Amino acid sequence: MALSLKEMVKHEDLLTGGHRACAGCTGANILRQIMLTAGPNTVMGGATGCMEVVTTIYPYTAWKNSFIHSAFENVAATISGAETAYRSLQKHGELPQAAADAERMNFIAFGGDGGTYDIGIQALSGAMERGHRMVYVCYDNGAYMNTGIQRSSATPFGAHTSTAPAGSVKQGKEQDRKDLTEILVAHNIPYVAQTTPFHWKDLATKVEKALSCGGPAFLNILMPCTVGWGFPMERGMQIAKEAVETNFWPLFEVEDGVYKINKKPKERKPIADWMKEQARFRHVFKPGNESMLEHAQQWVDQQWDLLLKRETMTNM
């Protein structure tokens, strides 16, 4: 696949403008980028959440391909049903002509970290284990943004959210993030990867690999949220870029169990640089909270170390 913007720009935009995402929403951009690669022969399922809401407010839909939403916690199960129907109808020779003619029908489910890390993890785990040929995409903005910025198990340590706020006694989220990507790796599925919308080439490559791996695949995509994280709306892509440069969000993929880190920063930037730009971490920089910052850095370093070891181990 010729992966240049010169080529990609010829692809049809399947997520139209006119959706109701906030100005500067990197989530809408993630979906748009996914669809540029996936193409029109795609059944997309959305978990209840920002992206489902803003793209399908009746009587409008921003989707030019088929789309289904049913509930918050079940998008993986819903799309596994669609994928199974496809296989069955294909076997019985009863597919609609356009689907029968398609070289490949894609099945993609997406959810935010709420719909994926938390309420939807059971359905996700089940669908991955069953081996459906589908891609699950998590747009991870590290909180339940749709319902008003409540903490999730993806919220980073220390972040202020509306249910774990920074106050005079408590200082934001007290736990570290859950490592969902690693949980998905443990499902022994053919393809698992992390990326961001800033890294458009990486993203497009990973979407194509996920769609063509022949089985279930999982993509965890960092989605900087201007409203929930508290940064100016033009900064979303830069925040995504810096998340990679600080090792907060390494770009890596796991193909048939083999790790590959796609980008190793020559010089790791301190996590504080990244946190400083976001209002959700403002209190962390107050005198007396130095240990929080230390912990945040330690955690990032430790996770990166682990990732390096996993890469070494699986490439021996």
Partner 1 sequence: MTRTVNQELTALSGNEAVAYAFKQARPHVASAFPITPQTEMMHKFADFVANGESSAEMILVESEHSAMSAAVGSAASGARTITATSSAGFALMWEIVYIAASLRLPIQMALVNRALSGNINIHCDHSDSMGGRDAGWIHHFCENAQEAYDAGLINFRIGEHMDVRLPAMVNYDGFIISHKEDALYMLDDEAAYDFVGPYKHKYTLLDPANPVTVGPLDLTDYYFEHKYSQLEAYPRVFDVAQEVFDEYADLTGRRYGFYEEYKLDDADLVMVILGSSAGTAKDVVDEYREKGVKIGLLKLRMFRPFPADQLKSVLSGRQAIAVLDRSASFGGWGGPVFTEIRSALYGTADQAPLHNWIYGLGGRDFELGHAAEVIDALQKIASGGEVPTLNLLGCRA
Partner 2 sequence: MSLKRAQELPDAGIITEAGNAVDFKTGDWRTYVPQFHEENCIHCMFCWIYCPDSAIDVDTSGDKPQMKGILLDHCKGCGICATECPPAAKGKAALVMVREEK
Residue 219 CB, nearest distance to partner 2 (Å)? 17
**Continuous H helices in 151-199:** 180-185
Binding mask 114-143 for partner 2 (x = CB under 8 A): ------------------------------
User: 3-class secondary structure for 70-125?
Assistant: CCCCCHHHHHHHHHHHHHHHHHCCCCCHHHHHCCCCEEEEEEEHHHHHHCCHHHHH
Residues 193-212 contacting partner 2, CB under 8 A:
197-198, 200
305 binding partner 2? (CB under 8 A):
no
Decide: helix, strand or coil at residue 69: strand
Decide: helix, strand or coil at residue 25: coil
316 binding partner 2? (CB under 8 A):
no
Count of positions (residues) in the chain: 316
Q: What is the Cα Rg of the chain in Å? A: 19
Residues 56-85 contacting partner 2, CB under 8 A:
56, 58-66
In sequence order, what are the residues at sequence separation of 6 or more whose Cβ sits closer than 8 angstroms to the Cβ of residue 270? 246, 297
45 sits in which H/E element: strand 42-46
Q: Which among 26-34, 87-95, 217-225, 254-262 is the span making contact with partner 1, rule CB under 8 A?
A: 87-95
40 binding partner 1? (CB under 8 A):
yes
224 binding partner 2? (CB under 8 A):
no
Contact between residue 150 and residue 161 where contact means Cβ atoms under 8 Å apart: yes
Binding mask 44-73 for partner 1 (x = CB under 8 A): -x------xx--xxxx-x-xxxxxxxxx-x
Give the CB-side neighbour count of residue 236, counting CA atoms within 13 A: 21
96 binding partner 1? (CB under 8 A):
yes
Q: Hey, how many other C-beta atoms are within 10 angstroms of the C-beta on 315?
A: 9
Residue 116 CB, nearest distance to partner 1 (Å)? 15
Binding mask 121-150 for partner 1 (x = CB under 8 A): -xx-xxx-xx--------------------
Residue among 1, 18, 94, 257 that touches partner 2 (CB under 8 A): 18
216 binding partner 2? (CB under 8 A):
no
188 binding partner 1? (CB under 8 A):
no
Residue 90 CB, nearest distance to partner 1 (Å)? 9
Written as six digits, the tokens of 192 are 């698992």
Residue with the two structure tokens 């669908």: 127
Written as six digits, the tokens of 64 are 């030019």
Residue 143 CB, nearest distance to partner 2 (Å)? 19
In sequence order, what are the residues at sequence separation of 6 or more whose Cβ sits closer than 8 angstroms to the Cβ of residue 291? none
Residues 259-298 contacting partner 2, CB under 8 A:
none
Task: List beta partners, residue 254.
Answer: 192, 259
Binding region for partner 1 (CB under 8 A) = 40-41, 43, 45, 52-53, 56-59, 61, 63-71, 73-74, 76-89, 91-92, 94-99, 102, 105, 122-123, 125-127, 129-130
Binding region for partner 2 (CB under 8 A) = 5-6, 8-10, 13-29, 32-33, 55-56, 58-66, 197-198, 200, 226, 232-238
